[in-house]
Amino acid sequence: MAEKKVTRIGVMCSGGDSPGMNAGIRAVVRTALYHGIEVYGIVRGYSGMIEDDIYQMQSRSVANIIQIGGTILKTARSKEFFTKEGREKAYSNLKKRGIDGLVILGGDGSFRGAQTFSNEFDIPCIGLPGTIDKDIAGTDFTIGFDTAVNTAVQAIDKIRDTAESHDRLFIIEVMGRDAGYIALHSGIATGAENILIPEKKTDIDNLIASLQEKEKRKKLVNLIIVAEGEKGGADYIDKIIKEKIPGLDTRVCILGHIQRGGSPTCFDRLIASRMGYHAVECLMEGRFNVFVGIVNNRINYIPLNEAVKKKQRINEEWMKIVKILSS
C-alpha cells in the first residue's frame, strides 16, 4: 500500500444522482474532519473540478441532509473531462488548494474517469458506488438502489389497483440502463406475471402464448415489468402484444425519473454512511484507487480498474422463482 499521507480531500458526485448520496457525503465529511483532514466539496462533479466550483466544507455543511434525496453537491456528466486538456485544468484547480485525495460517488463511468485521472496526476481516488442501477460488480449493493426499487414497488402497487378494476394488462417500464435489477426486484416484490430484462433473452412467442392461455382462463389482470434496457422497451412489447392479441386491453406506463428521487430508505442511509466512513479510512491507510463495496455484509475493496470491466450477474435462481410464483 502507498505511503503518501492525505491531508486535504475533495468529495463529489458524478453521473446520475441516487438517493443516499447525501448520506455518503455526510459520512465522508464528518469522518475526514474527525481525523483532522480538511474537506472540499466539488460541485457538479468533474465539471465543477474543471470550472473551479469548489468550496471548503465544515461539519455543519452536511447537517440535516441524511434524509434528503438528490445531492447537495449536485452532479453532472462532463464531456470536457474526457479530454486531456480538461483533466489538466481540473488538476491545477485541485493543486492550488493542496487537495491530495478524492472521494467520488458515482457509477462505473465515474470510476473510469477517476482511474484515468489518478494514473495521469497521481491523485489517489476512492469510489463509492452510487447508482440506482446496481450494475457494478464487486458489491452486493449500490447506494440508491433500495430506494429506487421501493419507489417502483409503491408505484406498481398503485397501478395494480387500477389494472384490477379495469381487467387490464399493464406493461410497466422501469429504469436500470443496461441492467435488469430494478425490474427483477420490483417485479418479484409486486407479484408481476412477467419480468423482461436485458440479461435474459425474451422469448416473445412464449410470452404471447402465456398471455393467451391466461386470457382463456379469464385471468385478465397482468403486470409485465420491462427493464428500460430490454430491446425496444415497454412500447415495443405493447406493440407486439397488440398485434398478436388484438382484443386485449393494454396500457403502458413508464415510471422514469421518479425512481431517482425521494428520501433514501434506512438501508441506503446505512450503506452510504458505512461506505463513506470506509472511503476516508482507505485514504488514510494508503489503500488507493479502489471503490468501497459490501459483500456478504463485509466491506470489500475493489480496484477501480476492475470495477469498470465487470457488471453484476443476475442470479438464475431469481428467474426460476419468478416463473413459479407468477403461474
- The residue assigned the cell 459520512 is 27
Nearer to ligand F6P, 146 or 228 (CB): 228
Minimal distance in Å, beta carbon 191 to ligand F6P?
23
Minimal distance in Å, beta carbon 13 to ligand F6P?
12
Nearer to ligand F6P, 100 or 173 (CB): 173
Is 133 tagged catalytic? yes
CA angle at 52 for the pair 47 and 2, rounded to the nearest 5°: 85
Measured in degrees and rounded to the nearest 5, phi and psi for residue 192 equal -65, 145
C-alpha cell at 302: 475493489
Minimal distance in Å, beta carbon 48 to ligand F6P?
17
Cβ-contact 220, 168 below 8 angstroms: yes
Minimal distance in Å, beta carbon 229 to ligand F6P?
8
CA 227 to mean position of chain CA atoms: 14
Q: Could you list the residues that contact ligand F6P (CB under 6 A)?
A: 16, 107, 131-133, 175-177, 228, 260
- The residue assigned the cell 459483500 is 295
Count Cβ atoms below 10 Å from residue 246 Cβ, excluding itself: 7
Q: How far apart are CA 55 and CA 232, in angstroms?
A: 43
Cβ-contact 296, 290 below 8 angstroms: no
Distances in Å between the Cα of 301 and the Cα atoms of 8, 49, 83, 216, 297 are 22, 25, 28, 53, 13
CA 327 to mean position of chain CA atoms: 31
Q: Give the residue from 310, 318, 308, 317 showing the smallest Cα distance to 183.
A: 318
Minimal distance in Å, beta carbon 133 to ligand F6P?
5
Nearer to ligand F6P, 30 or 185 (CB): 185
- Please identify which of the residues 100, 133, 135, 268 carries the catalytic annotation: 133
Nearer to ligand F6P, 229 or 276 (CB): 229
Nearer to ligand F6P, 105 or 132 (CB): 132
C-alpha cell at 161: 389497483
Tell me the catalytic residues: 133
